[in-house]
Amino acid sequence: MTTQKLTFAAMIGMDLSYAKQQLVAGELVAIPTETVYGLAANALASDAVAKIFDAKDRPSFDPLIVHTNSWDRVQEWVQDIPELAHTLAATFMPGPLTLLLPKKPIIPDLVTAGLSRVGIRLPSHPMTQSLLATLDFPVAAPSANPFGYISPTTAQHVDDQLGNKVSYILDGGPCQVGVESTIVSFEEGRAIILRKGGTPIEAIEAAIGPVQVQAHSTSNPQAPGMLKSHYAPKIPFLLGDLPLLIEQQKGKRLGILCFSQQLKHSDIVFQKVLSPSRNLSEAAQRLFAAMREMDQMDLDIILAEYFPEEGLGRAINDRLSRAAAR
């Protein structure tokens, strides 16, 4: 299959053979997943993984998630898998779920920021599933964007920001989930949600019973995606009661990000309603693209509201809160 040459060193296309060739050579490849686009490198090669941190300008204390295509392969890289992890894997993998498990020495410390556990994920996107099945190594793959910025949900988003730092961008179309995976760890026989994401907490509890949910993000993360300030646009971003925020920001050029109901005010320059039908899955899928669109506009500030704290609304609120933390 042919590939199309873009600016600088970036190429974008659907050539799985070329993507594999670049990964085997130790280069970076942007890959589509059902959640967001990832920036992938050979997870077993420290020099390749180092390129991820360099391209994203990501601090080395923030660990990465390791991706593969089959749960049967996971035991090659982790040990002491608890029964709860097997149950969750059988129920939700492939899918938007990451399990934090004790790593074997074959996983470089750079991947886990020196921690003893590694996040393991099986993405469900068919193109990436096919690619991973051809590799004899897993890939480390954080979101394919500059560190701390809005995550990419299309190949074009990746090219706009990292096109000159990536050997190839595998184009799998728009991401269908739109927020990152849920991260689960295991402590003394209990499951703990470290990051809310694409697999709802309610679904996890239906499979394994009650779970503990870590309430706060941290500047010293024990798993990927736990930093307090993250997913942030460049334009100032506030989260709360929209009518009140609009009055407080009177006279400014406002961008409004809301769930289902459009607001009217003379200061509103642009407004994005994520789901008029109040569908949280639809809202999650559109979230990051809407934030990116607004971040390119001539606005003084972006205002957003909290979403229903249920299902994927929990993950949306988590991303909005961390975008506003900056």
Looking up residue 316, the CATH number of its domain turns out to be 3.40.50.11030
Residue 219: predicted pLDDT: 47
140 shares its domain with 202: yes
Instruction: Give per-residue pLDDT as tens, 127-171.
Output: 999 999 999 999 999 999 998 899 999 999 999 999 899 999 999
CA distance 58 to 210: 34
Residue 2: predicted pLDDT: 41
> In 3D, which of 243, 236, 240, 250 has the Cα closest to residue 297?
236
170 shares its domain with 311: no
How many residues are listed for the chain in this entry?
326
Q: How many domains does the chain have?
A: 2
Residue 217: predicted pLDDT: 56
Instruction: Give per-residue pLDDT as tens, 239-269.
Output: 999 999 999 999 999 999 999 999 999 999 9
206 shares its domain with 249: no
209 shares its domain with 246: no
Lookup result for tokens 């809202």? 283
19 shares its domain with 155: yes
Name the DSSP class of 237: E
97 shares its domain with 208: yes
Residue 218: predicted pLDDT: 53
Residue 3: predicted pLDDT: 45
> In 3D, which of 178, 166, 130, 157 has the Cα closest to residue 3?
166
CA distance 197 to 181: 5
Q: What is the pLDDT along the chain (326 residues), one digit of tens a residue?
A: 444 433 445 699 999 999 999 999 999 999 999 999 999 999 999 999 999 999 998 887 889 999 999 999 999 999 999 999 999 999 999 999 999 999 999 999 999 989 999 999 999 999 999 999 999 999 999 999 998 899 999 999 999 999 899 999 999 999 999 999 999 999 999 999 999 999 999 999 999 999 999 876 554 556 666 555 567 899 999 999 999 999 999 999 999 999 999 999 999 999 999 999 999 999 999 999 999 999 999 999 999 999 999 999 999 999 999 899 86
Q: Taking the CA of residue 195 as centre, how many other CA atoms within 13 Å lie in the half-sphere pointing to its CB?
A: 26
- Cβ-Cβ contacts under 8 Å for 179 (sequence gap 6 or more): 35, 36, 96, 151, 197, 198, 284, 287, 288, 312, 315, 316, 319
65 shares its domain with 107: yes
Residue 10: predicted pLDDT: 66
The domain of 243 spans 237-325
256 shares its domain with 208: no
User: Distance of alpha carbon 35 from its chain centroid, rounded?
Assistant: 6
From the number of C-beta atoms within 10 Å of its C-beta (0-12, 13-18, 19+), residue 249 rates as middle
Residue 226: predicted pLDDT: 59
In a domain, 249, yes or no: yes
259 shares its domain with 311: yes
> In 3D, which of 119, 121, 123 has the Cα closest to residue 185?
119
Structure tokens at 312: 């994927």
CA distance 164 to 158: 10
Residue 5: predicted pLDDT: 39
82 shares its domain with 194: yes
